[in-house]
Amino acid sequence: MDTFTLITALITISALISYLNTRFIKLPGAIGVMVVSILLSVSILVSGKAMAGFGVFIKDVTSNIDFSKTLLDIMLGFLLFASAFHFDYRKLKEQRKPVLVLSTIGVIGSTLIFGLLLDVITTWLGIDLPLVYCFLFGALISPTDPVAVLSVLKKSKIPPSLETIIAGESLLNDGVGLILFITIGEVAQQEQIFSITHALELFAVEVFGGIALGAVVALITYALTKKIQDFQTIILVSISMVMVISVIGGVLHVSIPLAAVAAGLILGNTSLGAKTAEGLQNYLHQFWELIDEILNTILFVMIGLQIVVLPFIKNYWFIGMLSVVFVLVARGVSIAVPAFLLKRSLKTSVKSITILVWAGLRGGISVALALSLPPSDYKELILSASYIIVIFSIVVQGLTLNKVVDKLVK
């Protein structure tokens, strides 16, 4: 299947699934699209020969898409830039302490707690999964997914301060999660022993390098766009900027997600400087909101359709459901302990912690990282369990978030 045909098929399937959800099922946008995609995948697997032709077509489309590369190298920069572009930096600044704690200490703590819990249960069940791979699993599943989180928060009734904390955390915690994933992955592959110096060096390059790249490219873009009033040219420059960030970020080995977030925050919270800047800014926001919605729909369809190419997922349902519990426990402890120790700074209550735990969704990034793991005896288990966590997170937590908020916030 050539590239154009593949893109055509993916967009057409996404449009059809979006239509079915909007017309008949009527679940919230991204969640509904993923639910329909999952139902379609399950129907194909269950029906067998009854949907043979269509099933082969869906499997062909899905198997020809490199999900990990497509998301991490292409789509993620656009999605994060669009999300950050709409984010109010002033609100983020007000909640900077809890956001920084959750996106650093919270991720590290969650990774360690999840890894230890998983090691205990796999040892007890007689499942061969070394401790280092338990921590590797924890590193890829602990950071909350900004795409999933922000798509759900758009229509939630969560208090504004908590919404800012959750959204800000999800935008910024990829750096720490990625460093942990790369560092632990190197140890797992026995390329080197764990080194704090190496981890800190990697963190500095990825995080600060990514932020610097995003800031520099955004400032150059701002300098160019403030001198013109042509909407089409401004749109082209902004699209080019995101693509340049992805390319240069890959070459320099800095964090593309953080670079996209930094660029989005800068450009989204500055004026274009022209007489018609307000109107152009509104048009620009509308354009990137549209891009965000379209890519979100395609991404959640891709996640849902992954079932047809992960036949081994049925072998790991039990450990996957246990992993769901471990993720929630690990997140709860990693939030509660810093909140208790820094209660004057964080000002979080039991109700707030509960909402923070339940709103910490995992999404496509975790699946993409799991798919990027090199072949090993443990990849199938980690990938299957990651996928089960993502399904539970988006469908169950996403659909019940407003109910949890309504019950706790009165």
Query: 352 is written with which tokens?
Result: 């707030």
Q: Per-residue pLDDT for the chain (410 aa), expressed as one digit of tens each?
A: 788 999 999 999 999 999 999 999 888 888 899 999 999 998 888 876 566 788 889 989 999 999 999 998 899 999 999 999 988 888 888 888 889 989 999 999 999 999 999 999 999 999 999 999 999 999 999 999 888 888 888 777 888 888 899 999 998 887 788 888 988 888 888 756 666 777 778 888 888 999 999 999 999 999 888 888 888 999 999 999 999 999 999 999 898 989 999 999 999 888 654 444 667 778 888 999 999 999 999 999 999 999 888 878 888 999 999 999 999 999 999 999 888 876 665 566 888 899 999 999 999 999 999 999 988 999 999 999 999 999 999 999 999 998 898 888 86
The pLDDT value recorded for residue 344 is 60
Query: 278 is written with which tokens?
Result: 């307000």
The pLDDT value recorded for residue 272 is 58
The pLDDT value recorded for residue 340 is 80
Q: How far is CA 59 from the centre of its chain?
A: 24
Domains detected in the chain: 3-64 (no CATH), 67-409 (1.20.1530.20)
Question: CA 109 to CA 80: how far, in whole Å?
Answer: 24
Question: CA 147 to CA 365: how far, in whole Å?
Answer: 9
Q: How far is CA 184 from each of CA 26, 122, 190, 196, 210, rounded to the nearest angstrom?
A: 42, 19, 10, 11, 21
Contacts with 333 (C-beta within 8 Å, 6 or more apart), sequence order: 109, 110, 113
The pLDDT value recorded for residue 276 is 47
The pLDDT value recorded for residue 274 is 47
SS (H, E, C) the chain: CCHHHHHHHHHHHHHHHHHHHHHHHCCCHHHHHHHHHHHHHHHHHHHHHHHHHHHHHHHHHHHCCCHHHHHHHHHHHHHHHHHHHCCCHHHHHHCHHHHHHHHHHHHHHHHHHHHHHHHHHHHHHCCCCCHHHHHHHHHHHCCCCHHHHHHHHCCCCCCHHHHHHHHHHHHHCHHHHHHHHHHHHHHHCCCCCCCHHHHHHHHHHHHHHHHHHHHHHHHHHHHHHCCCCCHHHHHHHHHHHHHHHHHHHHHHCCCHHHHHHHHHHHHHCCCCCCCCHHHHHHHHHHHHHHHHHHHHHHHHHHHHHHHHHCHHHHHHHHHHHHHHHHHHHHHHHHHHHHHHHCHHHHCCCHHHHHHHHHCCCCCHHHHHHHHCCCCCCCHHHHHHHHHHHHHHHHHHHHHHHHHHHHHHCC
SS (H, E, C) 93-108: HHCHHHHHHHHHHHHH
Q: How far is CA 346 from the centre of its chain?
A: 24
Q: How far is CA 49 from each of CA 43, 44, 46, 53, 63, rounded to the nearest angstrom?
A: 11, 9, 9, 8, 19
Type of residue numbered 20: L
